[in-house]
Amino acid sequence: MGLAIALLTISDTRTLAEDVSGDHLQRSIEQAGHRLQERSLCADDRYAIRAELSRWIADPGVDVVITSGGTGLTGRDGTPEAVEPLLDKTIDGFGELFRVLSFESIGTSTLQSRCLAGVANGTFVFVLPGSLDAVTTAWKRLIHAQLDAETRPCNLAQLRQRLKE
């Protein structure tokens, strides 16, 4: 049984029709046997991001939220600041490990990545950079295995039912 996953692309310049990274994530989610619960796009505005995430975090039908975009260092990049206050717990190892893996393909540019992950109201939240390379790395090398209940010795999927204890 797969998980219900919501995807949010954060961009001031893209539309859903041009969202190559979001398309890749959607295909990857469905190929892994999970269900795309909803997919949306919003501007890089911390309150719009929080509103959309809060709606999904409050929805018991959403197990996981994945965002892409808005994690850089420019003045408009505010996704981490929008998401972090919503998290009950952070999964620090996600960002650390993502940057190690990303270093293999983009070198020291990975220090500009402010990706993060955590848990909010029993929902896993992953905040990814918006590039195709970044979402591919995050999905293939981290998220996919952790959302697979068969991954050993442990995985996030098996913790889902215990997150609100």
28 domain residue, yes or no = yes
165 domain residue, yes or no = no
89 domain residue, yes or no = yes
29 domain residue, yes or no = yes
- Give the pLDDT confidence of 97-155 residue by residue, as tens digits: 999 999 999 999 999 999 999 999 999 999 999 999 999 999 999 999 999 999 999 99
69 domain residue, yes or no = yes
99 domain residue, yes or no = yes
Domain count, the chain: 1
- Give the pLDDT confidence of 39-84 residue by residue, as tens digits: 999 999 999 999 999 999 999 999 999 999 999 888 889 999 999 9
Full residue range of the structural domain in which residue 137 is found:
4-153
Band (pLDDT 50/70/90 cuts) for residue 164 is: confident
pTM: 0.96
**101: phi then psi, degrees, rounded to nearest 5:** -65, -40
CATH number at residue 13: 3.40.980.10
124 domain residue, yes or no = yes
